[in-house]
Amino acid sequence: MPSHDDMQLSLMLPEILVFSAGLAVLLGGSFLARQRQWWGRVVSATALAAAAAVAAVQLSRPDAAAFDGTFAVDTPTGVARIVVVLGALLVLAVAGDEIAGSPRESETYALLLFATSGVLVLAGAADLLVLIAGYLLASIPLYALIGLARSPQAAEAAMKTYLLGALFGILLLSGVTLLYGVTGSTWYPEMATELTGAPAAVVAAGTVGILGGLLFKAGGVPAHFWVPDAAQATTGTAALFLTTVPKVGALVAIYRLVQTLPETVEWALLIAVLAVASMTLGNLAAFWQTDPRRLLGWSTVSQVGYLLVPVAVAGRAELAQPALLFYLAAYTVTNSAAFAVSTALPTLRDVQAYRGLMRSRPWIGAALIVALLGLLGTPPTAVFLGKLTTTAAAWEGDAAWLVVAVFVNTVVSLFYYLRWIIPTVQRPDPDDDAFSAHRWSAGAAVGAAGLSLVLGVAAGLAWPVLAG
C-alpha cells in the first residue's frame, strides 16, 4: 500500500510535473546548442499535457486535501489546473515563432514553467503561508519575462512591475500578519472560525492587504498600472502569458479567501466596488489606445472587473463558483486568440494597420474578429455565456446594481473593439503588400478562437463539472 507521504505527493502531481520540467529545461538548456534549444519547448509541452491529464483524472474524484489540508484538491483547483495548462500551452505555441533560436530560449521556457507552477499553487492554496509561496513563485519569474525583450520600454515595464509587485507583496504579507495575529492560525478552516469574534477593523485591514497582493497578480484595480505598459513593451509571448495565466490562480485564490471572512466585514461590498472600478477604468482607458497590445492590456483590466462579480456574491449565489470558473476558461482562450494574432503580425503596432486583413488573411482575420467580439461578449462565443452566468449569479446574490454595471460597461467597450474590427474588414489599399504572418502564432490564434466558439456552444456539457 502507498504511504501517507506518497498520497500527499500524488495529490500535487500536476504542480510537481510543471516545476520539475522547469528545472529540467533550465539545466538542460545549459548543455544544448542554440539550434537544439527547441527541445525545451517539447519537454515543456509534454509536462504541461501530462499535468492536464493528471488534473482531469483527479477532478473526477472526490475532493481531497494535501499536506494537512493546506492545499485543496477540489473542483476550483481541478478546473484552474486545466485552464492554466491550456493557457500555458497556447503561450508555448506563440513562443515557437517569437523566441525559437534566440539566446534565451530555454531560459524563457523555464521562467514560464516556474511562473505557471506558482499560479497552480495559488489556485489550490488553503493556507496563507502556501498562498505567500505561490504568490512569490508566480511573481518573480514574471519580472524576468517582461525584461527579456531587451528594449528601454521593456526595462521600464519590468521595473514598474517589480516595484508594484514589491509594494503589493508587502501589503499581502502585512495582511497575513494581521489575520494571523487575531486568529493564531493561517489555515482557512480554522481562520473562518476564529475571525468571527476578531476585531472588525483588524480583519478589514488584513483583508485589504491580502486582496491588494492578489489583485496585483490578477491585474485589477488598484494594482493594475503595470499591465498595459508590460503588454505593450514586452514580447508577445510574455504579454500573452501575463494577461492570461496569472489571473486564473489569483481570482480562484480571492474566491477561496472571501469564503473564510466573517459577516462583520463588508467584504462583498469591497469586492463589488473593486469590480466596477476595474471594468470602468479599463474600458475608459482603452478608448484612446491605438497600439493593439496596449489596448488589450487595458481590456484585460476591464475583464478582471467582470470576473470579480461572481466573487462578490460568493456564498450567496449557487451560480458564483461555476460562473467564475467558466468565465476564466472563456477569457483564457479568447484573450489568447487576440494576443496570438498580434504576435503573428508583430510589425502591425497600430489598429489601422490591420486594414484589409480579412481579405488578405481570412483565417487570421476571422480569428481576430471572433476574439474581439468574444471579449465584448457576443454570442455564441464563450465569454458571452461567461457574462450571462456572471450577471445571473449577481442577480441571484441580490446585487442587481452589479448587473447594470456589467451591462453598461459591455456597451461602452463596444466602441474600442469596433475601432480594431472595422479596419480589419475594410478593403485594403491597392499599394499594400499581403500580410506576412508567423505560422505558429497564426495557428494558435485560429485554434484558440475555435475553442472560444466550441466552449460557447458546448457549455452545457462542462457545467455539471464546474458546479462540482
Model pLDDT for residues 132-160, shown as the tens digit of each residue = 999 999 999 999 999 988 889 999 999 99
DSSP states of 174-226 as a string? HHHHHHHHHHS--BHHHHHHHGGGS-HHHHHHHHHHHHHHHHHHHT-TTS-TH
Q: pLDDT at position 4, please?
A: 52
Q: What does the pLDDT look like over 256-297, one tens digit per residue? A: 999 999 988 899 999 999 999 999 999 999 998 999 999 999
433, burial (CB in 10 Å: exposed 0-12, middle 13-18, buried 19+):
exposed
- The span from the CA of 214 to the CA of 151, in Å, is 28
- The span from the CA of 328 to the CA of 245, in Å, is 10
* 260 φψ region: left (φ > 0), alpha (ψ -120 to 50), beta (else): alpha
Asked whether the predicted pLDDT for residue 311 surpasses 70, the reply is yes
Contact predicate 38/100, CB 8 Å: yes
For cell 521600464, what's the residue?
156
Cα angle, residue 225 at apex, residues 143 and 340 outer, rounded to 5°: 65
Asked whether the predicted pLDDT for residue 435 surpasses 80, the reply is no
Give Cβ neighbours of residue 456 (< 8 Å, ≥ 6 apart): 330, 374, 379, 380, 381, 382, 383, 384, 385
SS3 73: strand
Name the nearest CA neighbour of 125 among 270, 282, 249: 249
pTM: 0.95
What value does the mean pLDDT take over residues 188-212?
A: 94
Q: pLDDT at position 328, please?
A: 98
* C-alpha 317 chain-centroid distance: 23
Asked whether the predicted pLDDT for residue 8 surpasses 80, the reply is no
Give Cβ neighbours of residue 235 (< 8 Å, ≥ 6 apart): 98, 99, 148, 149, 154
Cell of 343: 504576435
Contact predicate 256/125, CB 8 Å: yes
Amino acid at 374: G
- The span from the CA of 21 to the CA of 92, in Å, is 14
- The span from the CA of 242 to the CA of 443, in Å, is 20
In this prediction, residue 3 has a pLDDT band, given cuts at 50, 70 and 90, of very low
Amino acid at 218: A
In this prediction, residue 428 has a pLDDT band, given cuts at 50, 70 and 90, of confident
Residue burial 288-307, b: 16+ Cβ < 10 Å; e: rest: ebebbbbbbbbbbbbbbbbb
Q: pLDDT at position 30, please?
A: 79
Q: What does the pLDDT look like over 83-103, one tens digit per residue? A: 999 999 999 999 988 887 777
- The span from the CA of 196 to the CA of 200, in Å, is 9
Asked whether the predicted pLDDT for residue 115 surpasses 70, the reply is yes
Q: pLDDT at position 434, please?
A: 60
Give Cβ neighbours of residue 454 (< 8 Å, ≥ 6 apart): none
- The span from the CA of 206 to the CA of 178, in Å, is 5
- The span from the CA of 306 to the CA of 327, in Å, is 9
Q: pLDDT at position 263, please?
A: 87
- Residues of the chain with pLDDT > 70: what percent? 97
Asked whether the predicted pLDDT for residue 1 surpasses 50, the reply is no
Contact predicate 332/86, CB 8 Å: yes
Highest averaged pLDDT of the listed ranges 28-32, 115-119, 462-466: 115-119
Asked whether the predicted pLDDT for residue 9 surpasses 90, the reply is no
- The span from the CA of 36 to the CA of 87, in Å, is 24
- Residues of the chain with pLDDT > 90: what percent? 83
Asked whether the predicted pLDDT for residue 104 surpasses 70, the reply is yes
Q: Is the dihedral of CA 212, 214, 216, 222 positive or negative?
A: negative
